[in-house]
Amino acid sequence: MSTNKIAYIELPATSTEEMKAFYGSLFGWSFQDWGVDYAAFSAAGVEGGFHAGEEHRTKAPLVIVETDNIEDMEQRVRQTGGTITLPTFKFPGGSRFHFTDPAGNELAVMQIQ
């Protein structure tokens, strides 16, 4: 994937099974389960996932930008006026952090390893 481009969209959920049934039936998307609280979707034009777990789940859809240097990007977010809302953490295959922009929109930056 290209660096500093939108790479993933995460939708908050209360049940991944419910979301898979709804979006699978509605749009024909495909799914990959990552535990009981997370399911990734594909065949949607952009990759994404449903997050039903309490930890790290947002209240609104989350746009995730991919980078090749997460430490540098976290510093750049701070330097340009963003606020880190969730420090860098690991997930299967990479790491990410969340931040808000000056208008209060929450986004995330991830680095795939």
Place of tokens 């049940």: 15
- Quick one: pLDDT at residue 2? 56
Give the pTM: 0.87
Please list, residue by residue across 25-41, b when 16 or more beta carbons sit within 10 angstroms of its beta carbon and e when fewer do.
Answer: eeeebebeeeeebbbbb
- Quick one: pLDDT at residue 113? 87
Fold adopted by 5-112: 2,3-Dihydroxybiphenyl 1,2-Dioxygenase; domain 1 (3.10.180)
Q: Compare 103 and 108 and report the one with higher pLDDT.
A: 108
Domain coordinates of the chain in residue numbers? Answer: 5-112
Q: What is the pLDDT of residues 43-79, one digit of tens each?
A: 998 999 999 999 889 999 999 999 999 999 999 999 9
- Quick one: pLDDT at residue 3? 79
